[in-house]
Structure 1
Amino acid sequence: MLRKTSLFVVLFIFSCQVFAQKKDDILGKWLNPTGEGQIEIYRRGDKFFGKLAWIKEPNDEKGKPKTDEKNPTESLRNKPVLGLEILKNFIFDDGKWIDGTIYDPKSGKTYSCKLTLKDHNLLHVRGFIGVSLIGRTEVFKRVK
């Protein structure tokens, strides 16, 4: 009986380690749910950031690069949307990336955010105001 219990404990610990997230598992390119853009997540020091690496329609109707026209800071409204850093300052803690922010260039608003990998290819992005119970989650897919 003791051997069966020991075997169960060893298998349980091994299975937890297999599913445990590592800090850099989030790195790479991710496609948003609508297919309109890809975010490249990278590391700077101990924090994680993400920029718009590709957008479906990078130019406006005049053929000029789309700019961050809704930005609340007037001096930043001429900055191109492509390459814009929209995920900022995430730290890795207990299998999640927390304490960061996500910027929505369509509205010009910034939200608190946390990121969770559900498997190696699905990233749950939860934007919220105040507490994470009041917010919205979108699922991004890893670009291969």
Structure 2
Amino acid sequence: MILGLALAMGAGVFLPSMPARAAGDDITGWWFDQTKRAGILIEPCGQHLCGKVAWLREPLNPDGKPKVDANNPDAKLKTRPICQLPMIGGFNKTGQGEWEDGWIYNPEDGDTYKSRMVLQDDGTLKVRGFIGVPWLGKSQVWTRPPTTLTECTPA
């Protein structure tokens, strides 16, 4: 579907304006997941940072219908669109370039994991999802798209 890890490393036309790169250790804005099949838009939400799948390279299933959260264990959520799907939330800044205490949702397995994010020196974002403690998890490296992505709209 969108992501290849057993954590929520989720989830197109490019606009020629507005650079996607933020200044300093600000991680708000657009990120490609590791596969570059999903664009995640990270924004402030109250006192925390949250993010949603706001762009999909292939927004439709093979049958031509919008991709949905089919693997969600909650039957009421199985039909919600992947486009605009909340994917990360609850992150608190804990240091220079570090955010912890968050969660990340994986639409490929329908599970939600604890998560932390660290902005690397090269400008990439290391996103780690885990169960219990961070060393029981997996990481992905997200990159900034070269320009701002066009936000998808759920059907």
**What is the root-mean-square deviation of aligned Cα atoms in Å?**
1.3
Higher helix share: 1
Partner of 1:41: 42
Taking structure 2 as the reference length, the TM-score comes to 0.75
Q: How far apart, CA to CA, are the structure 2 residues paired with 1:26 and 1:46? A: 15
Partner of 2:106: 104
SS, match of residue 118 in structure 2: strand
Q: How far apart, CA to CA, are the structure 1 residues paired with 2:46 and 2:117? A: 18
Partner of 1:84: 85
Aligned pair partner of 1:125 in 120, 124, 127: 127
Q: If you compute each CA radius of gyration, which structure gives the higher value, 1 or 2?
A: 1
Q: How far apart, CA to CA, are the structure 2 residues paired with 1:52 and 1:28? A: 12
How many residue pairs get aligned? The number is: 122
SS, match of residue 76 in structure 2: helix
Aligned pair partner of 2:136 in 134, 137, 142: 134
Would the alpha carbon gap of residues 34 and 86 (structure 1) be closer, same or farther in structure 2, given more than 3 Å must change?
A: same
Higher strand share: 1
Runs of 5+ unmatched residues, structure 2? 1-23, 147-155
Runs of 5+ unmatched residues, structure 1? 1-20
What whole-Å deviation, never above 9, does each CA across 1:31-80 have from its counterpart, x for those lacking one?
Answer: 11111111000001210001001112111122111110111111011100
Taking structure 1 as the reference length, the TM-score comes to 0.80
Q: How far apart, CA to CA, are the structure 1 residues paired with 2:31 and 2:121? A: 13
With CA pairs under 8 Å and 6+ residues apart, which has the higher RCO, 1 or 2? 2
SS, match of residue 119 in structure 1: coil
SS, match of residue 70 in structure 2: coil
